Amino acid sequence: MNNIYDDKQFFDEYAKMSRSQQGLLGAGEWHQFKTLFPDLNGKSVLDLGCGYGWHCKYAIEYGAEKVLGIDLSEKMIDEAKKRNDEPKIRYMVCAVDDYDYPANSYDCVISNLVLHYIEDIESIFKKIHQTLKANGVFLLNIEHPVFTAGVKQDWIYDSNGRPQYWPVDNYFYPGERTTHFLGQNVNKQHHTLTQILMGIINSGFKLEVVEEAIPSADILDIPGISDEMRRPMMLLIKSIKQQ
Site residues, a copy of itself (CB under 8 A): 146, 149, 151, 156, 164-173, 192-194, 197-198, 201, 206-212, 214, 229-232, 235
| Cβ proximity to a copy of itself, 22 vs 226, nearer residue | 226
Residue 86: burial class (beta carbons within 10 Å; 0-12, 13-18, 19+): middle
Other beta carbons less than 10 A from residue 176's beta carbon: 10
| Cβ proximity to a copy of itself, 103 vs 219, nearer residue | 219
Min separation Cβ 90 and a copy of itself, Å: 35
Distance, CA of 183 to CA of 160 (rounded, Å):
22
| Cβ proximity to a copy of itself, 27 vs 233, nearer residue | 233
Dihedrals phi, psi of 129, to nearest 5 degrees = -60, -45
Min separation Cβ 221 and a copy of itself, Å: 16
Min separation Cβ 65 and a copy of itself, Å: 30
| Cβ proximity to a copy of itself, 180 vs 230, nearer residue | 230
* Residue 174 DSSP SS3: coil
Distance, CA of 68 to CA of 105 (rounded, Å):
11
Other beta carbons less than 10 A from residue 84's beta carbon: 22
| Cβ proximity to a copy of itself, 39 vs 208, nearer residue | 208
Min separation Cβ 118 and a copy of itself, Å: 20
Helices 121-131, 193-202: crossing angle, 10 deg rounding: 30
Min separation Cβ 162 and a copy of itself, Å: 12
